[in-house]
Amino acid sequence: MKNKPKVLPFIIGGLASLLVIIIGLFLFCTAINIHNPELWILITVALFIFIFVTRLANGFKDFGWVTVSKKVGSKGKTKKYTKFNFSIKYYIAPIALAALTAFIAITGSTVFNALPYSSILKVVDSDFTKDLSESVGTDSIALMDTASAQMLGDREIGALSDVVSQFDVSYDYIQIDYNGKPIKVSALEYAGFFKWINNRDNGVKGYVTVNPVSMSASFEQSEGMRYIPSAYFFEDAYRYIWLKYPTLMIDNLHFEIDESGKPYYVASINEKTISLFGGKTVTGCIVLDPVSGETVRYDLKDIPNWIDVVFNGDLICEQYNWFGMFQNGYLNSLFGKKGCKQVTTYTSDDENSDETPACDFGYVSKDGDIWIYTGVTSVNGDSSNIGFLLANERTGESRYYSIAGADEKSAMAAAEGEVQEKGYQASFPSLINIDGHPTYIMVLKDSGGLVKLYAAVNVEQYNLVTTAATQAECISKYKSILGISEPENPTDETKETTVTIASIKYIDIDGNTFIYLIDTENNIFKAKAATHENMLLLTEGDTVKLSCSGSTVVSCDKLEK
């Protein structure tokens, strides 16, 4: 009987700490993985609760406000007062575990592991004109920002009275490649707990697609999706995946569709490669069918092509900054800064209205994948880029292009300056190749978020700017100021012919010099001199091989006599 009072407090303390662990695991879906610092924090809290409750059950109040008596004066009068009591000696174990967690986090930081961090992302120097050929046209460039997509999606759903009363459109619009074209997709979500209760048997029956090229949105119906992030308890998609894979560290849970339009949720699998908590990278993904609840785990090398976002853009930018800042050590990143570079950043307002640096990027649909694009700048804080980064969000493949020019914010300001009287706002640009010229392309929006104009800005000379109501017109005007000849009729096929020059004429039109060739058969061919400088060396009697679209010269090669 004497042992019962001693055992009972331990039982109570054990049950209390167990309850904290269960609630913490279930509520926060904490990965049971030694590389997860959240697990260490949870265990520390549970150990503290165990000691506290055990001591409290034994009648020892060694943490909190207590009333004590103290004799004062020569007559030994007793005076009562309160004080905060904390007997630290009983809490050495949780304090030591918290200190160990902090120590592991510090020793795994960039301060002590600069070179390992710099080698996480593999970056290959590449050829801009080869990787971004003009065949990657403007219909593969996603010019729409998330805010515009949200506006179009809300309008589309707002017209469907039976849908808008029960569901909202998620603000997590994801850029994907759908049958070779870029689109943004977002699933519907429950508009609160009671809407989930009323609709959970049927699930969410649709999603929104937004075409960033045509600036249009549509609602696509699907089978009822039950396992989604806005559901509750065991139907919450994140918790549902965690219960099946409790030891995996997952994040970046997002909505995608396959090439047939079937909806899925995709989550990235993370690993820490430096110490226990440092060096985050992606090793695979988990795909959830929100209708049936079936899940499939893929290693990075086995991920299907229809999945587009495994490495999200923010992680790629963070990893590139490790690559660019720490190749010569941590101290160099603080003081000498030799060779240090980073993705271009801008200042944004966070939730506390504080200005914080953040990265931004555009999207390019290329080879069936979505690639993010962002500029790379030195750490000197000027308004120019030293190059560009193109990275595949499915595989993590990253390519660097050494091209000096204006950064994105300067290009946006240049485009806005062209129509400053209208007060339009430029979207973050994407990068395209126009006849070998790296070019920013973007949209200009009014105060209501509606797209009003398209703008093209030359990267290397950002004073070369054109704006127009359509992409095609904007690119045509841009080519004109660059002196790039365009076919008289875009539908004309390019044909090759060999001619002998009978006469050459040079004519100035609107400040541009055109070369006119007249052959021995009295056929006339023309070309802009700035585009075809080799033709300035031609003389009468030369035999040349021409590639032409209509009468416009595309290429010209002089044949030896």
Nearest Cα neighbor of 441 from 428, 460, 422 is 428
Nearest Cα neighbor of 454 from 170, 165, 113, 214 is 214
Contact 8, 1 (CB under 8 A): no
Note the pLDDT of residue 486. Answer: 60
Instruction: Look up residue 158 and give its two tokens.
Output: 């707002």
Instruction: Look up residue 94 and give its two tokens.
Output: 């949780």
Segment (H or E) for 541: none
Cβ within 8 Å of residue 482, ≥6 positions away: 434, 435, 437, 458, 464, 530
Segment (H or E) for 525: strand 524-528
Quick: pLDDT tens for 385-427: 899 999 999 999 999 999 988 888 899 999 999 998 998 999 8
Contact 469, 453 (CB under 8 A): yes
Nearest Cα neighbor of 344 from 388, 311, 313 is 388
Own/partner long-range contacts of 437-441 (Cβ < 8 Å, ≥24 apart): 437/482, 438/128, 438/388, 438/401, 438/403, 438/405, 439/478, 440/408, 440/411, 440/415, 441/138, 441/141, 441/143, 441/471, 441/474, 441/475
- Class of 494-558 in CATH: mainly beta
Note the pLDDT of residue 393. Answer: 96
Residue 222 phi, psi (nearest 5): -145, 175
| Residue 412 CA: distances (Å) to CA of 144, 355, 405, 408, 418 | 14, 20, 13, 6, 10
Instruction: Look up residue 129 and give its two tokens.
Output: 């004109």
Note the pLDDT of residue 1. Answer: 43
Note the pLDDT of residue 2. Answer: 47
Cβ within 8 Å of residue 338, ≥6 positions away: 328, 332
Q: Is 475 helix (H, G, I), strand (E, B) or coil?
A: helix
Note the pLDDT of residue 196. Answer: 93
Length of the chain in residues, anyone? 561
Q: What is the 3-state secondary structure (H, E, C) of 27-40?
A: HHCCCCCCCCHHHH
Contact 238, 206 (CB under 8 A): no
Quick: pLDDT tens for 136-183: 555 667 777 777 888 888 888 887 767 877 888 888 899 999 988 889
What is the separation, in whole angstroms, between the first and last Cα of the chain? 117
pTM more than 0.85: no
Note the pLDDT of residue 82. Answer: 73
What region does 541 belong to: left with phi over 0, alpha with psi -120 to 50, or beta?
left
Note the pLDDT of residue 511. Answer: 60
Note the pLDDT of residue 174. Answer: 92
- Which residues share a beta bridge with 342? 377
Going by the DSSP 8-state scheme, the letter that residue 535 receives in this structure is G
Cβ within 8 Å of residue 331, ≥6 positions away: none
Distance between CA atoms of residues 475 and 481, nearest Å: 10
- Which residues share a beta bridge with 371? 364, 392
Distance between CA atoms of residues 473 and 441, nearest Å: 13
Segment (H or E) for 141: strand 141-142
Contact 108, 278 (CB under 8 A): yes
Note the pLDDT of residue 353. Answer: 43
Note the pLDDT of residue 134. Answer: 65
Q: Is 123 helix (H, G, I), strand (E, B) or coil?
A: strand
Strands 543-549 and 512-519: unpaired
Nearest Cα neighbor of 290 from 342, 227, 235 is 227
Spans of the chain, pLDDT less than 70: 1-5, 61-66, 68, 71-76, 81, 83-86, 134-140, 161, 346-358, 381-382, 485-493, 509-512, 561
